[in-house]
A and B are shown apart, each in its own frame.
Chain A
């Protein structure tokens, strides 16, 4: 007995246009993980990321008829996620600026999370990771930590696959160098 092949994205979109909510649910399940991880990378907040993904799929459902079936679906979805995340980030930045004008808050505080990251190994790794340029960190995280393919990450961030590989290569080299230097320093 052979398994039924997964329906292609274009077929699911066509069914969504006809109002097939079950087909749309399959499409959501297929891309929910990568869309959420992308939004979380851009917003650094899980709740905000979930909101943006929610909005993105609402747009996909509402505008499915406008999707060109000759083109791949993921870049369209991820472009929507990126645009909404950028808008939200800009809005949050405006709010933060306003808040700073009205309060004297905004100074870095010692949070419980900061206190928790107190062991030397985590600190070392953290320094190394945060010293990476943002795109290197993003690609390294998605491929190495989250197990996505370079093709997935390329579509998510709207860059070419070779650029993703380049970011990965540089991130690994930088992390190795940084951790080695630290090891040498501490004997």
Chain B
């Protein structure tokens, strides 16, 4: 009679239930422990870490392109880093050497100050 029902394939003996319970319990314990992929998918820390890594990678890709397209102006740097006194500034900043007369007169003026 049991063969006529939907559970006909399920044997009803204690040995079957014991072995099934043992198998199910141990597999459930293993299956429920999150592995690295699950951790990556579910943990907030992993999402933050992934965002930081993505930002870094993006930065590394974009930065050289930026450097190529807009290199820093050497003149600006030279102006910014040039010494404060007029003579040294003129020597460093100017592409051509200053006339010697101007250096002498300006230098003499500055020295006389």
Question: Which residues of A approach B to under 8 Å, CB–CB?
Answer: 21, 24-25, 28-29, 32-33, 36-37, 40-41, 44-46, 49-50, 53-54, 57-62, 117, 122, 125-126, 129-130, 137-138, 141, 145-146
23 A-B pairs, CB-CB below 8 angstroms?
A: A21-B25, A25-B25, A33-B12, A36-B10, A36-B17, A40-B10, A54-B28, A58-B27, A58-B31, A60-B28, A61-B32, A62-B31, A62-B32, A122-B4, A126-B4, A129-B5, A137-B5, A138-B6, A141-B2, A141-B7, A145-B2, A145-B5, A146-B7
Contact between chains at B28 and A57 (CB < 8 Å)? yes
Q: Is B60 an interface residue (CB 8 A)?
A: no
Question: Which residues of B in the span 1-23 have a Cβ within 8 Å of any Cβ on A?
Answer: 1-7, 9-10, 12, 17-18, 20-23
Report the count of interface residues on B (CB-CB < 8 A): 23
| B48 located at the interface, meaning its Cβ lies under 8 Å from any Cβ of chain A in the complex | no
Q: Tell me which of B3, B4, B10, B21 contacts A25 (CB under 8 A).
A: B21
B40 is an interface residue with CB less than 8 A from chain A = no
Q: Which of B1, B12, B17, B29 contacts A61 (CB 8 A)?
A: B29
Chain B residue nearest to A49 (CB atoms) is B10
Q: Is the CB of A37 within 8 A of B4?
A: no
Listed in ascending order, the chain B residues whose CB lies under 8 Å from chain A are 1-7, 9-10, 12, 17-18, 20-25, 27-29, 31-32
Q: How far is the CA of A44 from the CA of B9 in the complex (A)?
A: 8
> B93 → chain A, closest Cβ, in Å?
70
Of chain A, the residue at the smallest CB distance from B20 is A32
Indicate if the CB atoms of B25 and A28 lie closer than 8 Å.
yes
Cβ of A54 and Cβ of B4 under 8 Å apart?
A: no
Q: How far is the CB of B7 from chain A (nearest CB, A)?
A: 4
Main secondary structure of the interface of A (DSSP, over half): helix
Which of A44, A58, A117 interacts with B6 by CB under 8 Å? A44
Q: With A and B bound together, what is the CA distance between A40 and B20 in angstroms?
A: 14
| Minimum CB distance partner of A27 in chain B | B25
**16 extra interchain contacts, Cβ-Cβ under 8 A, other than A54-B23, A137-B5?**
A21-B29, A32-B20, A36-B20, A37-B10, A40-B10, A41-B7, A50-B24, A54-B27, A54-B28, A57-B25, A57-B28, A58-B32, A62-B32, A129-B4, A138-B6, A141-B5
